[in-house]
Amino acid sequence: TGSTRPQRLLKAVQKNASRGDPQSVISAIDRFCHSSEWAMNVGDEKGVILDSVVCEVSPGCALELGTYCGYSTVRIGRLLPPGAKLITLEFNPDYAKVARQVIDFAGLQEKVLLVEGPSGDLIPKMKEQYGITTFDLVFLDHWKDRYLPDTKLLEECGLLRKGSILLADNVICPGTPDYLAYVRSSPRYESKYFKSHLEYTKVEDGLEKSIFLG
Ligand SMILES: O=C(NCCc1nnc(-c2ccc3[nH]cnc3c2)[nH]1)c1cc(-c2ccc(F)cc2)cc(O)c1O
Ligand SMILES: [Mg+2]
């Protein structure tokens, strides 16, 4: 049987990147997506905005919802301060299998914990199972209809503190209208839109950065 797109993306990393060099992994995936097959990574243009927020927050503890092939996991992981941790949740076992190999190839396995399962079940277990108090940064990039329920779940589980940053991908395309309305209208968030484009295309998309006010 044929390979899947994530498997072909992984082959491109193994062929064109250097083991232990996260930037070469990022470049290999971007080259693959620009010149061979589109894939739903946050991409190079929105990736620069993601990088700037990660550097600004310099999180001791970060959460990613939606690993896919691990592209944004590597982008975030390579910028974490020493001793910091990134937990990334993935529902699809085939995506997780590829992502683990991409994260390992980049040499970031000590900083990143990939957990398989549905976010709705895993978020309430974060404190007891992974010893999390609160997340300094949350990157939302999973199913677009899960952004709002999972944000409410993070609030209810006491996983956000005054100043925690939520950064959401795809708020225009495919779009997350209920999430956007919530963070932009709630007095508990200060929200800002970063206009960009859907990865590897000219279609409009953007990231929404929301500060939890407690
Ligand atoms: O669906 C997306 N991303 C989500 C994948 C995923 N990868 N993992 C999950 C998961 C879902 C539950 C989960 N529960 C716990 N972990 C979970 C992970 N979902 C996505 C789609 C597009 C896109 C745009 C235009 C198009 F024409 C077609 C597609 C662009 C993007 O940047 C995306 O991020
Ligand atoms: Mg996305």
List pLDDT tens digits, range 63-108. Answer: 999 999 999 999 999 999 999 999 999 999 999 999 999 999 999 9
Name the nearest CA neighbour of 167 among 134, 210, 204.
Answer: 210
Tell me how far the alpha carbon of residue 38 lies from the centroid of ligand 1, in angstroms: 13
CB of 149 closer than 6 A to ligand 1? no
Q: Which atom of ligand 1 is nearest to the CA of 90?
A: 16
The alpha carbon of 71 is separated from its chain's Cα centroid by a whole number of angstroms, namely 8
Residue the block writes with tokens 């859907």? 198
**Amino acid letter for position 152:** K
Q: Which residues surround ligand 2, an ion (CB under 5 A)?
A: 141, 169-170
Per-residue pLDDT at 193 exceeds 90: yes
pLDDT of amino acid 2: 86
pLDDT of amino acid 149: 99
Residues serving a catalytic function are 141, 144, 169-170, 199
pLDDT of amino acid 68: 98
Q: Which atom of ligand 1 is nearest to the CA of 122?
A: 15
Angle between helices 177-185 and 147-156 (to 10 degrees): 40
Question: What is the rounded distance in angstroms from the CA atom of residue 38 to the CA atom of residue 62?
Answer: 27
* Residues of the chain by 3-state class (helix, strand, coil), percent to 5: 45, 25, 30
Per-residue pLDDT at 134 exceeds 90: yes
Overall residue count recorded for the chain in this entry: 214
Residue ID of nearest Cα to ligand 1 atom 31: 40
67-to-90, 141, 170, 186, 192 alpha-carbon distances in Å: 5, 8, 14, 27, 24
As a whole number of Å, the CA-based R_g of the chain is 16
Per-residue pLDDT at 1 exceeds 90: no
pTM value surpassing 0.90 = yes
